[in-house]
Amino acid sequence: METTAPTRLVELFPAEISEQLGLPAFQGKQIFRWIHAKKVSDFDAMTDLPKALRQRLHEECVAHGVELVEMQTCARTGTKKALLRLGDGESVECVLIRDRDRITLCVSSQVGCALQCDFCATGLAGFTRNLSPGEIAAQALVLLKDEDLGERTPNIVYMGMGEPMRNYDNVVRSIRLLMSPEGLGIGARKITVSTAGEIKRIEDMAREDWQVRLSVSLHAANNPLRSRLVPLNRKYPLERLHETLRSYQAISGRQITFEWTLLREVNDQLQHARELMDYCRGLRVSVNLIPWNPVEDLPYETSTREACVAFAETLNKRGIKTTLRQERGQDIDAACGQLRRTKGSLA
């Protein structure tokens, strides 16, 4: 006998919920609010819905269909890392990072990643599939479920597993779900999409009618080294990326961040900082330096604290705003893709 898959409500905007279930507009909004604003996935807890409707939701729908398998918390930093099981048994990771009063959620956009950056745990496992918009939004809902945010709005960065620009349409829709005023209501400026340099999609992003931020995972500013660390550079070398970023800024007027994972004696020397300074010319950029989190089986080491600080100072002295991220939670397998790897396939 053929069975139909339950409707996954987290994928839908309020009007779509009403339309698909044949409900009045206000009930579509109520259901959306329960799932996205109150982060409730149990229909029985949606107490302002009629009992008959709750029963119907049980029979025909799931709220998000994402299950928390494991949540690790770093005792020192408060960073939380979640391993989630998706409806088809695949798994993804997402992270909540605390920095003084700020909360940042790092979400995944794909199961695995095809880009195979040389220092990345996710890349080691290869690519499995894209995440749906709801599967992306659900990561934020699970991470925030027991958080008392008070007046704070979290930041969301698309820097978890996967290359977001290779799942562009779903990423865009997930951003609109997260921005919805009926839901989490995250402001566009608090959302950052990261890319290893998918230039066609950077061009698309320049034309979106929003202020979502763009971040580029650069890691090296000379072609031989970048092609080794980020193989996508062989397709779109640094010169082509620079041209695209210039045009992105000309169209959108928005600032860009360069992410730079510091690898000991590979890209953390002063000559690398100088190459980066040259590359920044003609662009309005800030730089985010990230000490590498060790990954078993990969031939890299974490930079020394002195090298990290010297690198940051060199850039800051030249007027390039540079932040050095603290190492967060090595005790919780903080490098993306690590937890999924160490727990094996959940399928």
Catalytic residues: 93, 336
| Residue 146 to residues 74, 140, 323, Cα–Cα distance (Å) | 16, 11, 29
Which of 161, 199 has the CB closer to ligand SF4? 161
What string marks each residue from 156 to 185 as x (binds ligand SF4 by CB under 6 A) or -? -----xxx----------------------
Out of 20, 73, 116, 286, which residue is the one contacting ligand SF4 (CB under 6 A)?
Answer: 116
122 binds ligand SF4 (CB under 6 A): yes
Shortest CB 232 distance to ligand SF4, Å: 8
Q: Which 3-state string (H, E, C) describes 253-301?
A: CCCEEEEEEEECCCCCCHHHHHHHHHHHCCCCEEEEEEECCCCCCCCCC
Considering only residues 123, 154, 291, 329, which one is a binding residue for ligand SF4 as defined by CB under 6 A?
123
- Assigned token pair, 284: 């309005």
Amino acid code (one letter) for 184: L
The least CB distance from residue 72 to ligand SF4, in Å, is 19
Site string for ligand SF4, 63-92 (x = CB under 6 A): ------------------------------
**What does the alpha-carbon distance between residue 62 and residue 7 come to, in Å, rounded to a whole number?**
6
The number of CA neighbours under 13 Å toward the Cβ of 331 is 9
Q: Which is nearer to ligand SF4, 121 or 245 (CB)?
A: 121
The smaller minimum CB distance to ligand SF4, of residues 162 and 183, is found at 162
**What span, in angstroms and rounded, lies between the C-alpha atoms of 324 and 277?**
16
Helix axes 199-206, 238-252, angle to 10 degrees: 10
Using rule CB under 6 A, residue 113 touches ligand SF4? yes
Distance CA 68, CA 39 (A): 13
Least distance CB 96 / ligand SF4 (angstroms):
18
The three-class DSSP label of residue 37 is helix
Q: Is 62 in the site for ligand SF4 (CB under 6 A)?
A: no
CA distance 94 to 332: 12
The least CB distance from residue 43 to ligand SF4, in Å, is 35
Q: Which is nearer to ligand SF4, 161 or 307 (CB)?
A: 161
Distance CA 238, CA 220 (A): 9
Among 191, 196, 218, 320, binds ligand SF4 (CB under 6 A): 196
Structure tokens at 113: 């990643």
CB of 289 to ligand SF4, least distance (A): 15
Residue 5 CB, shortest distance to ligand SF4, in Å, is 28
In the complex with ligand SF4, which residue's Cβ is closer, 120 or 245?
120
Q: Which is nearer to ligand SF4, 134 or 164 (CB)?
A: 164
CA distance 192 to 200: 18
Stretch near ligand SF4 under the rule CB under 6 A, chosen from 54-62, 69-77, 117-125, 181-189: 117-125
Angstrom distance (rounded) from CA 85 to CA 66? 6
Binding site residues, ligand SF4, CB under 6 A: 113, 115-117, 120, 122-123, 161-163, 196
